[in-house]
Amino acid sequence: MILLDLKLKSLTLNDLTAILELDQACFGGLWTMDGYQRELNSPNSELLGLFSPVYGSKLLGMGCFWAILEEAHITILAIHPQYHRQGLGQALLYSLLQTASDRGLDRATLEVRASNLAAISLYEKFGFKIAGRRRGYYQDNGEDAKVLWLSDLQSPQFAETLENWHTTVVYGLRKSFWQMR
């Protein structure tokens, strides 16, 4: 079986055009160039990208979190629509949580559209629990957001959980003929 390579890396200002193209494909232009530049320049932000050298180093997915005190506030998890359901979201979420743990953060949180059942399922698979609801959170249509939390990123049990997730991620990628490099 031939596996296609994926490369995970921290995004930089050199990736700004690809970031904006992916944002447009996934969200219709959620953030501006200035917004992404601020994120890329902030020491409190982590922006990770999944690239495929096979497709001319195309940015297939990105994730972002803000480090606020001991919390990772996940602000973006986006996979290009052409690459949905191939394990890339799992790989990116795993990488964000690994990075948050490596930074010494203790908790992770995020908001997700109440109607986005696929995303909610992914987050719950990774141990997130629904902690609340933000009414009318999304400005484009007034949809509610569910607030999800994951605690104890610094516990010994979480290190073991990360190892288990790594196995799950590798297997999920292989099923879709991907491998992480």
pLDDT tens per residue, range 57-80: 799 999 999 999 999 999 999 999
pTM given for the model? 0.93
Regions of the chain with pLDDT less than 50: none
pLDDT of 3: 78
pLDDT of 54: 79
Calpha distance 87→172 (Å, rounded): 5
Find the catalytic residue in 21, 70, 111, 137.
Answer: 111
Find the catalytic residue in 71, 123, 124, 171.
Answer: 123
- Does the active-site annotation cover 111? yes
Residues 8-41: b if buried by 16+ CB within 10 A, e if exposed = beebeeebeebbbebbeebeeeebeeeebeebbe
